[in-house]
Amino acid sequence: MTRFRSMVSAAALALAVMTPVMGGLASPALAKGMLRLAQTQDLVSLDPIATSDNASIFAQLLIFDTLLRPSKDATKLEPGLAESWQVSADGTTYTFKLREAKFSDGTPVTSADVAFSLKRAGSDASNWKRFFSGIETIETPDQRTVILTLKKTFTPLLNNLALFSSAILPQRAFEAAPDRFFEKPIGSGPFTVAAWNKGQGLSLKKNASYWQAGKPDLDGAELLVIPEGNSRVLKLQAGEIDVALEIPLNQLQSLSRSGAIKTAVADVLRSDFVMMNTKKKPFDDVRVRQALNYAVDKEGLVKALLYGTGKVANSPMPPMAYADSTLKPYSHDVAKAKALLKEAGYADGFKTSLLIHSGRPLHRQLGQAMQSALAQVGVTAEIKLVEGGTHWSTTKAGDYEMAVSYASSDTIDPDQLAGFLIVNPERANAYHTEWKSERVNELYEKERVTADGPERGGMFKEMIKLAHEGAPSVFLFYPGTSYAYRSNVEGFEVLPTSNFRLEDVKLK
């Protein structure tokens, strides 16, 4: 699933660079057990079926539970609210046994709450309906048993049940006030909402009813909005915040020298690329698309822009389950790029435009690098900076030629991102490139009814190879996520799924 970050207004920026006091909890010297975490933007909504931006996802995963969740190393699924589960031999019946858990208001989590939440996730009101449409019936024979019956085998289901949009809500509390529920939602996760001051951030407090014994250790947390990277660094150095996400890579080394701050770059399931609109000339010609892949020095970009912390990409898919490590990325070969352009009828190059989200410093740098690289093969690219919402709506409408973007995954199964990035028709029609391969579409349908294992893995590898050859994007790199925290913070880490588990964090 891809995620989109919107720009923060100047007013929000002015508020964010001050040390906030929110919900009566915050202030640097107050509340010894309060973790102050700075991120780049505010969340959009706390409703799990209504959003897809990172800030909203990260907050929801701290407030709500799902039946299952990815392990910390993103290699398997582990129990969430379901302490165990069984799948029938034909793959159409899933039986879940719920653990004894309570919502933050002290009421028990029941099978009725699970049935209600999953039906809501699969309803017409949900942005994620397609992930649950295969569920035919949901039975609740007792308060701690849930049985899902599918119309047909659907292998990605367990991973979809670990997705944030599968969050379990208390049915009675929601139905009592559906219009106000997400102002201060009730969940069974480690934290609950104290206050949400839009533009400043979200204050969380410890859920005293949380089912994991002894967790969370923190009294609460503040997810602060500080859009500008240097401001996050300065506040971290001054002790005004405890953790900062997305630290400028050129500052990581200097930050760690004092010993008061620790830095890290997490390997995450993310891929950065330049989309090409294959409905518009000259990008309707695969030779042109391949030529632009050869024209860019991806190794140079990793060294110059990522300070060596990423890897060159061989497709739009990030390196995750069933990735093909033997598939070589496009090499940097200007002569080959020029030859392909000549063969396609563009020996003298062409003019195009490059759409860039103005709120992403890395992508602004990429724009300049792409402009220079393309000029070497005769392609003149005009950079167009737009805010996040415009970037999304413009590419979605197909009103662009080239656009710098990225995708990241919240689950460990590649079905989700494959459907988004390389399948057409699907939710985004090969992520707004409109590239189409009937063979990819055929394999996509087959892998969804094939049991996990080598056969299904082979299908994904063929899909990725076809996307590599079809080149709907200029595949750039797989970047890490940089972050830093003060030395009194224990247990904080950014996971491969890009989120973080604050229930595991302690302040010394």
Per-residue model confidence as pLDDT tens digits over 447-485: 999 999 999 999 999 999 999 999 999 999 999 999 999
CB of 382 closer than 8 Å to CB of 351: yes
What burial class does residue 292 get, using C-beta atoms within 10 Å of its C-beta: 0-12 exposed, 13-18 middle, 19+ buried?
A: buried
Q: Measure Cα distances from 100 to 15, 83, 185, 366 in Å.
A: 42, 9, 20, 50
Residue 198 has pLDDT above 50, yes or no: yes
pLDDT category at 16 given cuts 50, 70, 90 is: very low
Which residues lie across from 352 on neighbouring strands?
Answer: 381
Q: Which pLDDT does position 19 carry in this prediction?
A: 37
Q: Which pLDDT does position 31 carry in this prediction?
A: 53
Q: Measure Cα distances from 421 to 1, 275, 434, 458 in Å.
A: 9, 10, 10, 18
Q: Measure Cα distances from 216 to 9, 485, 503 in Å.
A: 33, 18, 4
Q: What average pLDDT does this structure show over 241-249?
A: 93
pLDDT in tens, 22-58: 433 444 434 569 999 999 888 999 999 998 888 999 9
The DSSP element (H or E) to which 39 belongs, if any, is strand 34-39
Question: Rounded to two decimals, what is the model's pTM?
Answer: 0.86
Q: Which pLDDT does position 32 carry in this prediction?
A: 64
- Strands across the sheet containing 220-225: 191-197, 201-206, 220-225, 34-39, 243-245, 481-486, 261-266
Q: What average pLDDT does this structure show over 416-435?
A: 94
Nearest to 57 by CA among 503, 463, 408: 408
The DSSP element (H or E) to which 12 belongs, if any, is helix 10-16
The span from the CA of 164 to the CA of 56, in Å, is 10
Q: Which pLDDT does position 4 carry in this prediction?
A: 35
pLDDT category at 215 given cuts 50, 70, 90 is: very high
**Among the ranges given (243-252, 266-275, 480-489), the one the predictor scored with the smallest mean pLDDT:** 243-252
Q: What average pLDDT does this structure show over 85-94?
A: 96
pLDDT in tens, 292-304: 999 999 999 999 9
pLDDT in tens, 176-192: 999 999 999 999 999 99
pLDDT category at 18 given cuts 50, 70, 90 is: very low
Q: Which pLDDT does position 41 carry in this prediction?
A: 85
Which residues lie across from 476 on neighbouring strands?
Answer: none
Nearest to 413 by CA among 82, 163, 66, 64: 163
pLDDT in tens, 355-401: 998 878 889 999 999 999 999 999 999 999 998 789 989 999 999 99
379-386 vs 350-357, strand pairing mode? parallel
pLDDT category at 437 given cuts 50, 70, 90 is: very high
The distance from CA 82 to its chain's CA centroid, rounded to whole angstroms, is 24
CB of 439 closer than 8 Å to CB of 424: no
% residues pLDDT > 70 (the chain): 94
412: region left, alpha or beta (phi > 0 left; psi from -120 to 50 alpha)? alpha
Q: Which pLDDT does position 415 carry in this prediction?
A: 95
pLDDT category at 228 given cuts 50, 70, 90 is: confident
**Interacting residues of 424 by C-beta distance below 8 A, sequence separation 6+:** 430, 434, 435, 436, 437, 441
The span from the CA of 199 to the CA of 10, in Å, is 10
Q: Measure Cα distances from 460 to 76, 324, 349, 416, 471 in Å.
A: 18, 9, 35, 12, 16
Residue 420 has pLDDT above 90, yes or no: yes
Instruction: Scan for tokens 């040390």, then name that residue.
Output: 19
Residue 91 has pLDDT above 60, yes or no: yes
Q: Which pLDDT does position 332 carry in this prediction?
A: 98
pLDDT in tens, 327-339: 999 999 999 999 9
Q: Which pLDDT does position 412 carry in this prediction?
A: 95
